[in-house]
Structure 1
Amino acid sequence: MPPMSLMPALASPLPAAVLSGCAALTYAVLAWVHPRISVPQSRSLLGLAWLLHLVVLLVGLFEQPARFGFAPALSVTAWLVLTVYLVESRLYPQLRARWTLAVLGTVAVLLAWIFPGTHYPALGSALMPLHWALGIASYGLIAAAVVHAWLMQRAEKAMRLGNASETAMPLLTLERLTFRFVAAGFVLLSATLLAGWYFSETLNHRWVWDHKTTFSVLSWLTMGVLLWGRWRLGWRGRVAVRMLYLAAGLLLLGYVGSRFVLEVLLQRG
């Protein structure tokens, strides 16, 4: 952790812009040169981009007053997905998604640079960051599930066309990993909604049904139905993937969509 005396300097606009530019450029370079470099080189470049991205997030964390919004939420989510991928690629070397994740990282960092969010000068509760942390973690796990579902669809299509590689990730392994992430994301989203209910009751003395809450609950219900269908009815393949995409889309509309409308379209905090 940087010394306290360095935090204001680290959080100043110029270093933050430079770091964001470096992180986005590193991701973009990886996306450009990915087909022409070796797997270890590609992994190392992605690791460097991941580290720069982490530094950008830490700089935003130390900014005073705190600032957050739809783009920083996407940036943290993308970083969490990359973290999962870097760990998994060590366990499963066949996993191949570096180009896609490099593009995702580039877009996420640039969006957070352009739309840094709004200030939160005061928190209604000292435990409010816990609610945010649970929500972002659930975003990250569900986004990781979506990435695995996309890889699963790609592998299934390659098998149907007879283009499957012997070194490719086994389809059943991808499917198992996808639903593990769905289950973990569902648990964290449940905790997020419970924490949101608690804070709403504590601060507002009632449950507030705004757009964020409505879409988040719909996403939670969709994931619950998906997991139940997987457990009781053996749902898999296209039906399961489409339900996952629907749940992820509803969750994206919950916070990111609502904040995008407020910050960009309506230009309100």
Structure 2
Amino acid sequence: MNLFPQLASNLPAAVLSTLAALAYALVAWAHPRLGSLQARALLAITWGLHLLALLAGLLSEPVRFGFAPALSVTLWLVLTVYLVESRLYPQLRARWALALMGAAVMLLVMIFPGAEHPTLPSVWMPLHWALGIAAYGLIAAAVVHAWLMQRAERAMRSGVTSDTTMPLLTLERLTFRFVAAGFLLLSLTLLAGWHFSELLNQRMVWNHKTVFSLLAWATMGVLLWGRWRLGWRGRTAVRTLYVGAGFLLLAYVGSRFVLEVLLLRP
């Protein structure tokens, strides 16, 4: 068994994925020793390597996609959001956690590059994928902000103040903005999936992916309604977000993980 299938199927993607994994590991190891500007510059270089690895994998012939590439695109989107926000809010610090996740995800992509898709049932299918992955990225960004919000709340309750802690209300506002944007894209993803089923004269397939996607959509909708009508915040809002994000993770990544890793099916 070839432990790194990309070495045989797509050498440029494998080389770029390796460089990105090493760059992420370097960020995780060196960030306490670097200044803020140096750390951001190194992370920006890593972001670029990750993007090149994504393009080399997604633009190959035939296209390969699966749970690990989906995680890779999601993490890259989260990192993109972080790089933009860290310019607006210099006290935002999550480099170490993102770097560790990035190194792990790049290794996963090398081991599990996904199934081949030599033909697509519709030329618009990539739009459906793009909407779904963008929804993943925005909800993942909301989860990261919710985690930072919990950390800031614990620090405030313990009486610890720090120049690197963002205001709690700012984190809360950003969290719900990402939830709302992710909910909108998830709604469009489900509508696009239903539309493609109609175009192909197929009924909507009620498999694990569909069920978990609808559960995630309903949970995010309840969260936004609770925020709007009941003023949900704090632990109630964060726990509901985590549940919805868990459903969304199981929808595609979880289903493909079971097929590719546990059942060894493309």
Normalising TM by the smaller chain, what interval? over 0.9
Q: Deviations over 1:209-244 (max 9, x none)?
A: 110000000000000000000000000000000000
Structure 1 residue 245 and structure 2 residue 239: aligned? Answer: no
Give the structure 1 partner of residue 27 of structure 2.
Answer: 30
Alignment map for 1:182-201 (pairs within 5 Å): 182-201=179-198
What is the Cα deviation at residue 12 of structure 1?
Answer: 6.1
CA distance in structure 2 between the aligned counterparts of 1:133 and 1:15, rounded to whole angstroms: 23
The more displaced of 222-231 and 104-113 is 104-113
Structure 2: gaps of 5 or more residues: 1-7
Q: Deviations over 1:109-136 (max 9, x none)?
A: 1111110000011111111000000000
Give the counterpart letter for 1:116 in structure 2.
Answer: P
Equivalent of 2:86, from 81, 86, 89? 89
CA distance in structure 2 between the aligned counterparts of 1:112 and 1:204, rounded to whole angstroms: 34
Q: Deviations over 1:30-56 (max 9, x none)?
A: 101111111111101100110000000
Q: Identity over aligned residues, as a percent?
A: 74
Alignment map for 1:228-243 (pairs within 5 Å): 228-243=225-240
CA distance in structure 2 between the aligned counterparts of 1:164 and 1:103, rounded to whole angstroms: 26
CA distance in structure 1 between the aligned counterparts of 2:38 and 2:185, rounded to whole angstroms: 34
Give the structure 1 partner of residue 3 of structure 2.
Answer: none
Structure 1 residue 51 and structure 2 residue 48: aligned? Answer: yes
The 3-state SS of whatever aligns with 2:64 is strand
CA distance in structure 1 between the aligned counterparts of 2:252 and 2:149, rounded to whole angstroms: 27
Q: Is the 8 A contact 2:13 2:54 kept in 1?
A: no
Structure 1 residue 102 and structure 2 residue 99: aligned? Answer: yes
- Shift >6 Å, 4+ stretches: none
Structure 1 residue 129 and structure 2 residue 130: aligned? Answer: no
CA distance in structure 1 between the aligned counterparts of 2:117 and 2:43, rounded to whole angstroms: 32
What is the Cα deviation at residue 205 of structure 1?
Answer: 2.5
Give the structure 1 partner of residue 4 of structure 2.
Answer: none
Structure 1 residue 225 and structure 2 residue 222: aligned? Answer: yes
The 3-state SS of whatever aligns with 1:64 is coil
The 3-state SS of whatever aligns with 1:169 is coil
Give the counterpart letter for 2:105 in structure 1.
Answer: A
Structure 1: gaps of 5 or more residues: 1-10
Give the structure 2 partner of residue 174 of structure 1.
Answer: 171
The more displaced of 94-103 and 226-235 is 94-103
Give the structure 2 partner of residue 212 of structure 1.
Answer: 209
Count of residues paired in the alignment: 259
The more displaced of 88-97 and 199-208 is 199-208
Give the counterpart letter for 1:74 in structure 2.
Answer: L
Give the structure 1 partner of residue 145 of structure 2.
Answer: 148
CA distance in structure 2 between the aligned counterparts of 1:204 and 1:243, rounded to whole angstroms: 36
The more displaced of 12-21 and 112-121 is 12-21
Q: Deviations over 1:4-38 (max 9, x none)?
A: xxxxxxx9622222211110001001101111111
Give the structure 2 partner of residue 79 of structure 1.
Answer: 76
CA distance in structure 2 between the aligned counterparts of 1:118 and 1:13, rounded to whole angstroms: 13
Q: Is the 8 A contact 1:70 1:260 kept in 2?
A: yes
User: CA separation of 1:167/1:60 partners in 2, compared to 1, >3 Å: closer, same or farther?
Assistant: closer
CA RMSD, Structure 1 to Structure 2 (Å): 1.1
Structure 1 residue 68 and structure 2 residue 49: aligned? Answer: no
The 3-state SS of whatever aligns with 1:201 is helix
The 3-state SS of whatever aligns with 1:168 is coil
Give the structure 2 partner of residue 7 of structure 1.
Answer: none
What TM-score results when the alignment is normalised by the length of structure 1? 0.94
Q: Is the 8 A contact 2:58 2:65 kept in 1?
A: no
The more displaced of 100-109 and 72-81 is 100-109
Give the counterpart letter for 2:235 in structure 1.
Answer: R
CA distance in structure 2 between the aligned counterparts of 1:78 and 1:226, rounded to whole angstroms: 23
Q: Is the 8 A contact 1:155 1:164 kept in 2?
A: no
CA distance in structure 1 between the aligned counterparts of 2:141 and 2:250, rounded to whole angstroms: 17
What is the Cα deviation at residue 62 of structure 1?
Answer: 1.6
The 3-state SS of whatever aligns with 2:200 is helix
Q: Is the 8 A contact 2:24 2:102 kept in 1?
A: yes
